[in-house]
Structure 1
């Protein structure tokens, strides 16, 4: 072997050596017999360096994976012997290899197995087992190999081709017939032998059993001797978690419902008698989390068995299964209410499905009602925040609790379906007790009692306003609770979580105020004072601003008498002014938007009045920090106006509300900011966003402003400016089509030339940010051309003059071939296909057919042949599909002339064999483009070997 090249395998080697090692790797992979030196090195244990051993396995792996069918019988035999000799060497070693080498070896064993079993190496497992016996190093590799085989043959998360699926079924059938009993026996021996001396090997073996149990005969595992061994390992500290997982996989095995119930029951009896059901006495939370998952699996299995039996009309068996299910409920409740949320979360699935079973029963027993109440109390307890919860700076733990709360809410919704009256009663009791004593209760008690009232609204079936209509028990209970909430003074509770929950619930039940409008003034005050918009927590202020705008919108008919008072009280919160002396306004700019949305007519005029003076001030300002503050302020002003437009979905609604003129005035006011030379990026960005909104809200009324805006935005452009401007033009093109054709013809070349100019600017070699900006601009440019060609406005490009058209189309060819960016390449092929459709026919553009043969056809072959065109990458495969569509379109437009060109001129110039040329041309002529797409992929894969 090239010893110099091997030096480059060391991670600390310098770049020159590393490059040489890479080249050597490619050479060994591609050469017919060079890999054999690696096989010999492994078989004889020539090298001690871990990186070299790993390298040798990689070379071997490549041969087996991609070249196995082409190897001679002797070479295939050599691979088998290499692996067995290497394995034999492991048995002699005092120290096992590093885990990364053992894993790679296991992958190579598994690959060889998949290629050669059962036809070429039927005794694979017997050979391995007879060699390793009970040697710990050998057993370790054997178990890793089994897991690697599981990944290749069984793992359902890996997508397999139909051919691989057929192969995997054949392998599993052969294994069941020939060797599974022997494998199971070997697992039993390993588990028994190593449970004390080598817990890590025992855990590996348990993982193997868990993986294989899903598709082998369950009786081989679910028998007294095996299950008793697993249960004994549940009591060994180092093994119990893996043993639990293994039992979970056994329980999850698909089988006949009666047999499944028997299996679960026998397991439960043994677990119970061994003391595992005494959850309170177990303090190992990691084990309990696994145990909870196991109980969840057993519970869900029983539910599935009951469902099948009930559906089949097997009355006695269904009753027995239901009894078995009920017997697990006390254990379910212990785990559900456990203080560790992971343990509780792992049992939610079983709890949810148990409640679903109860929902289907004709009537509930007293015991079942007691269980429902116990689940209810558990949910209420577990919904409560811990004292350690960090409300101001939520991290990963807090995010996990929020997710866990969502699961509990799901249970509460299911409870409401099973027994709405019980749920209403329980929540009414908790809520009333807490509200009577809110001053002395902890924040978590107060928050959760309001939270439960909020959750009721979604849990109890009713349309949003129907909670307070009709004379039902539910209506009066909800009305009583809302009356208590808004009048008991709890809105003054000094904790942000309580404040937020109060306002969320007020909005959740805003229809309550239509029934009892006398409470509106008190709630408005809460919104406007220190409890809401002036709260000391920015998080509360921000959310309240949004909720307030919604509240005003819902109850607008009741607001007339309060508008003046509201405006007076919030005036200082809505001032358009940059921060002075580092003092920030109470509401962030985003929060203010929600407020303004609710009070727009009163707000936009003063906003516009302030804009011109501030813009003039910015132009005169010389201090950079002050410039940034002023620009920020102007951007927020434009942002405010934009956000108010979110209340409208189209021109009709803007017109309907009498706002067209206001927005026209806004456009007039804001557009001069586009040519402001100071703080250009921020100002352009905000005005451009406003234009996007106006295109939606004002439709064609915005068109008179577009040419001037475009002219401003094309001056002194940077890559980012253009990249953000293109979507605006694309939006206008897609929306107005023919209406904007004259404008597009006018702006097309200035825009294209501005893009070319920015792309041509030199940049530092190692300036990653600049390179990325250029890549994104290039993508935007190609997307723009795609929008133009796809919008049915042929004339926009056709009227640019021959020289300009040629220049643009060459950039598309270049984008398709030269830049290793599959997203851009895909777009380029879509454009080329469209241009062929538009101009490539008999009555198309003069000279374009010639261009097709000179440039477009070669692009379709040169792009996929590039080394950077990675056919294992999903995006690249999509690009290849569009390439195939382009070829299909050329055939559609040029017919037999194109086939003749390929067969007689172009494909021979690429040294493509005549029979393959003929094959490709035949596929091209078939009507189904899918056939061509599949063939093209295979064609280029073959070409790249």
Structure 2
């Protein structure tokens, strides 16, 4: 076929759409053309020919042709004729031949795609049709740089398809890949290695890019080929010479890393690493201080890390095998690398340091296992400690007020250092404690003149000891050990040396974090509490000029008070006076920025609550203090609610509603201070919380911003049901009435747990109220569920599903709490209506969670009303509706017996059948055998079998039988 005719066969108009700047119409046409070529039996051949003959100069068209070929090889290879498969191979080789003659190579994205297509063809054809794949390519490209480039890219693409462990392969692909590797090892690997050596040698001066590519190939393949082909004098010397060439050294380093990482016999591994080390050392690479290229040093650090970890792994294997001599030699080899390890660990560039942490961590792990440490090993531990302490220090550039990517990376790096610190504590707690004490004491003596990073890290180290040194139940300060007294000395210094006044946010934060970490210290030495309280309360803490510090301190203060509330008695009223302005509700039109956010204020209110409730004041005093804490919230709430009702502008309404919601949240949070030992009643606070209810409940009928207001008042009611006991009951009917007016699915769904909570807690006490609220609630639910929704409105569908679940849970709570009368007194039509919804829920909606609840309810109703003295007409309902539900639900196509939730539903369905038999006896068996099962076309033998199993006492046997029964029925 002539060039012109091929060009004519290609749809020129469609090809215009391949240009990224083409308009949408052309792009669409190009997409349609792509699909057409992919699916056609032979239309793709024009693409193969276009590539082979170089018909098109446009890069996007060339890429397009490769994509079409890729699709044929990937998805249709087996369906191609031998001639077509041959055509693909020949076209690729012709394309490659053209590359050798081109003055300019193709764009990298085309070369990468070509390499992928070569690799896919290799995978399909190498074992059967193209065993000479590599020899054909090598003999064609020789040492032509354009050809070598495609060859190397193809090798990397083959590695990605055949070797890469991150890609999941099917068992079939895994078998094929193993066979390919075995065949390559036998037939071509020595030739490939020879080609790599030639490429590395030929191009290291002239084409650094090709040399780097080749080093990457060697690194990728070394994991599964015979190491002796690479780890020999000529190859290693070549790699080492490239370690001295600036453009190649990073790739050479990576290549050596892969060689060192290869799994092998521990003795051989030690020899390999040692010989590499000797050469690197004599070539001057261990003189880290003289190296200025940090990118290279990061790679070198990774290489040293790999060598160190390899040696440690060898030591572990040898020690386990009892090879004492070899293990000793390997450990000596490790120890010889420690000076280099320390130089890299302490390097000012964190990437270089981070890359060696693994070696360091595992070295410490080995030291921990040794029965006794030498003086040198102890010195090494100390050196690691000093390095960790030095590297934990912030640098001048760290931006505390606006933390970006660099700061985030340092925080991550600090976590790695913390692992080392914790490991040091396991290896030698005494040495660590002593080292920290030295650094800490020295910094605290000079804190006024020391830079912030030194002071911060000193306190940080004390903080980190708390996690690193195991404390039995936080008992860092009990017992008479060196640790106890050292920690106690450091804490005493921390809280009395005045460092809390240091003017830097990082030091302030570290001070308060440490005080709270070691709050048990103040139980042993309570004389320091007043000083620390003042630090919390003044410009060092809650009034610090940094919002970040104030926010964190609000939380830490609440923790401090919770732990030490028994020691606060003398300071309660003073603290409450000092924090009074921090407890004020910030009205939206204030204009002044508040010291604390509303989230921070929650902690302050909880703290105030804890102080009042746990103080030793008489009940009257507690009552007065709690009222003075909550009355301003109630007053502000009434004023703001009145304002909201008059406000017309939506943005102001939202701001006011937020403020009202905060007021309720604050009052709610104070109630967290009560406990079983200190109840609301015992503290004389019942009345003040009742007053809060009176103040807050009117918000439920507010016509604007209903979602926010209802949500906060409902949360408050939840808390009051827990704290106020039956005192809360008079408020529930009115609250319910408001919440059931004009409600949405979400409102109801959030209201039901409140009713369920009341039902579970007060049971009989709330029976009259439940009888009264039952039908209004049920009708409100029905009304919302019946509202039409847009067909594709996923949110509305999900809200309805959740509401339906909540509704069934509510019925379950009622039937399960022994209050039979709540439903029984609703009148026959209403009962029937409700029970039909349960039947519907069990059968019609493919939601196994709701279906399971429905069967639990049906089983309970049968238990309550299905016996001889049960509800009139209910036995008839059982036979007409409940029994069919137990069979129709599992027979539905959506009832998936391979799904765990659905199996639980079937289990409850089985329990329901068992309960019917328990209540109705032989009459039920007769109904099944003579009426119901025949109506389902169940054979008499199976019917009899099922009825026999039903009459057995063991429910487990029945459950297994029913599951098998429905599995058979669905075949």
Deviations 1:846-874 (A, max 9, x none): 99999999999999999999999999999
Alpha-carbon distance, 1:215 to partner: 1.4
Change (3 A) 1:63 1:439: same
- Are 1:549 and 1:597, in contact at CA under 8 Å, matched by a contact in 2? no
- Are 1:830 and 1:886, in contact at CA under 8 Å, matched by a contact in 2? yes
TM-score with structure 1 setting the length: 0.79
Change (3 A) 1:897 1:199: farther
* Aligned-partner Cα distance in 1 for 2:190–2:962: 46
Q: Which moved more, 1:471-480 or 1:123-132?
A: 123-132
* Aligned-partner Cα distance in 2 for 1:892–1:4: 78
Deviations 1:677-714 (A, max 9, x none): 33445434544555677788899998997887677567
Alpha-carbon distance, 1:806 to partner: 16
Equivalent residue number for residue 19 of structure 1:
28
* Aligned-partner Cα distance in 2 for 1:464–1:831: 46
Q: Which moved more, 1:85-94 or 1:216-225?
A: 85-94
Alpha-carbon distance, 1:614 to partner: 2.1
- Are 1:597 and 1:644, in contact at CA under 8 Å, matched by a contact in 2? no
Alpha-carbon distance, 1:402 to partner: 1.2
- Are 1:650 and 1:697, in contact at CA under 8 Å, matched by a contact in 2? no
- Which SS does the other structure have where 1:652 is aligned? coil
Q: Which moved more, 1:547-556 or 1:896-905?
A: 896-905
Change (3 A) 1:582 1:881: farther
Deviations 1:550-591 (A, max 9, x none): 111111111111111110111111112315542122121111
Alpha-carbon distance, 1:278 to partner: 0.6
Q: Which moved more, 1:445-454 or 1:121-130?
A: 121-130
- Are 1:737 and 1:793, in contact at CA under 8 Å, matched by a contact in 2? yes
- Which SS does the other structure have where 2:15 is aligned? helix
Q: Which moved more, 1:472-481 or 1:667-676?
A: 667-676
Alpha-carbon distance, 1:89 to partner: 2.3
* Aligned-partner Cα distance in 2 for 1:618–1:491: 44
- Are 2:122 and 2:130, in contact at CA under 8 Å, matched by a contact in 1? yes
- Are 2:588 and 2:656, in contact at CA under 8 Å, matched by a contact in 1? no
Q: Which moved more, 1:604-613 or 1:346-355?
A: 604-613
- Which SS does the other structure have where 1:423 is aligned? helix
Structure 1: tracts of 5 or more residues without a match = none
- Which SS does the other structure have where 1:467 is aligned? coil
* Aligned-partner Cα distance in 2 for 1:358–1:852: 73
- Which SS does the other structure have where 2:743 is aligned? coil
Change (3 A) 1:370 1:912: farther
Equivalent residue number for residue 554 of structure 2:
545
* Aligned-partner Cα distance in 2 for 1:54–1:920: 66
- Which SS does the other structure have where 1:292 is aligned? helix
Change (3 A) 1:939 1:160: farther
Alpha-carbon distance, 1:884 to partner: 21
Q: Which moved more, 1:921-930 or 1:500-509?
A: 921-930
- Which SS does the other structure have where 1:328 is aligned? helix
Q: Which moved more, 1:257-266 or 1:641-650?
A: 641-650
* Aligned-partner Cα distance in 2 for 1:30–1:932: 53
Alpha-carbon distance, 1:201 to partner: 1.6
* Aligned-partner Cα distance in 2 for 1:941–1:617: 64
Equivalent residue number for residue 682 of structure 1:
708
- Are 1:786 and 1:831, in contact at CA under 8 Å, matched by a contact in 2? yes
Equivalent residue number for residue 93 of structure 2:
84
Change (3 A) 1:505 1:240: same
Change (3 A) 1:861 1:99: farther
Deviations 1:257-285 (A, max 9, x none): 11111111111111111111111111111
- Are 1:650 and 1:696, in contact at CA under 8 Å, matched by a contact in 2? no
Instruction: Find out whether 1:894 has 2:903 as its counterpart.
Output: no
- Are 2:34 and 2:68, in contact at CA under 8 Å, matched by a contact in 1? yes
Change (3 A) 1:71 1:759: farther
* Aligned-partner Cα distance in 1 for 2:278–2:182: 34
* Aligned-partner Cα distance in 1 for 2:174–2:52: 33
- The structure number with the bigger radius of gyration is 2
Alpha-carbon distance, 1:601 to partner: 8.1
Change (3 A) 1:690 1:145: farther
Q: Which moved more, 1:284-293 or 1:578-587?
A: 578-587
Deviations 1:220-249 (A, max 9, x none): 111111111111111111111111111111
- Are 1:651 and 1:699, in contact at CA under 8 Å, matched by a contact in 2? no
Alpha-carbon distance, 1:478 to partner: 1.0
- Are 2:344 and 2:356, in contact at CA under 8 Å, matched by a contact in 1? yes
Change (3 A) 1:456 1:127: same
Change (3 A) 1:710 1:207: farther
Alpha-carbon distance, 1:398 to partner: 1.0
Deviations 1:717-739 (A, max 9, x none): 78987898899899999999999
Alpha-carbon distance, 1:475 to partner: 1.2
Matches within 5 A, 1:593-608: 593-595=602-604, 603-604=629-630, 606-608=632-634
Alpha-carbon distance, 1:934 to partner: 22
TM-score with structure 2 setting the length: 0.77
Change (3 A) 1:53 1:509: same
Change (3 A) 1:227 1:602: farther
* Aligned-partner Cα distance in 2 for 1:892–1:186: 83
Q: Which moved more, 1:351-360 or 1:41-50?
A: 41-50
Alpha-carbon distance, 1:301 to partner: 0.8
Q: Which moved more, 1:366-375 or 1:925-934?
A: 925-934
Q: Which moved more, 1:56-65 or 1:557-566?
A: 56-65
Alpha-carbon distance, 1:56 to partner: 2.1
* Aligned-partner Cα distance in 2 for 1:187–1:394: 46
Alpha-carbon distance, 1:755 to partner: 10
* Aligned-partner Cα distance in 1 for 2:300–2:119: 32
Deviations 1:603-636 (A, max 9, x none): 4454334322321222123565654443222121
Alpha-carbon distance, 1:16 to partner: 2.3
* Aligned-partner Cα distance in 2 for 1:741–1:446: 64
* Aligned-partner Cα distance in 2 for 1:856–1:717: 32
Change (3 A) 1:754 1:550: same
* Aligned-partner Cα distance in 1 for 2:896–2:454: 58
Change (3 A) 1:337 1:935: farther
Change (3 A) 1:422 1:312: same
- Are 1:579 and 1:585, in contact at CA under 8 Å, matched by a contact in 2? no
The two structures, once aligned, show a CA RMSD in angstroms of 7.5
Q: Which moved more, 1:670-679 or 1:570-579?
A: 670-679
- Are 1:719 and 1:759, in contact at CA under 8 Å, matched by a contact in 2? yes
Alpha-carbon distance, 1:211 to partner: 1.4
- Which SS does the other structure have where 1:468 is aligned? coil
- Are 2:626 and 2:685, in contact at CA under 8 Å, matched by a contact in 1? no
Change (3 A) 1:150 1:452: same
Change (3 A) 1:794 1:368: farther
Alpha-carbon distance, 1:468 to partner: 1.0
* Aligned-partner Cα distance in 1 for 2:534–2:402: 28
Q: Which moved more, 1:654-663 or 1:911-920?
A: 911-920
Structure 2: tracts of 5 or more residues without a match = 1-9, 605-621
- Are 1:355 and 1:415, in contact at CA under 8 Å, matched by a contact in 2? yes
Alpha-carbon distance, 1:354 to partner: 0.8
* Aligned-partner Cα distance in 1 for 2:11–2:714: 61
Alpha-carbon distance, 1:772 to partner: 12
Alpha-carbon distance, 1:23 to partner: 2.2
Change (3 A) 1:874 1:577: same
What is the count of residue pairs matched by the alignment? Answer: 945
Equivalent residue number for residue 865 of structure 1:
891
- Are 1:813 and 1:856, in contact at CA under 8 Å, matched by a contact in 2? yes
Matches within 5 A, 1:652-691: 666=692, 669-687=695-713
Change (3 A) 1:698 1:5: farther
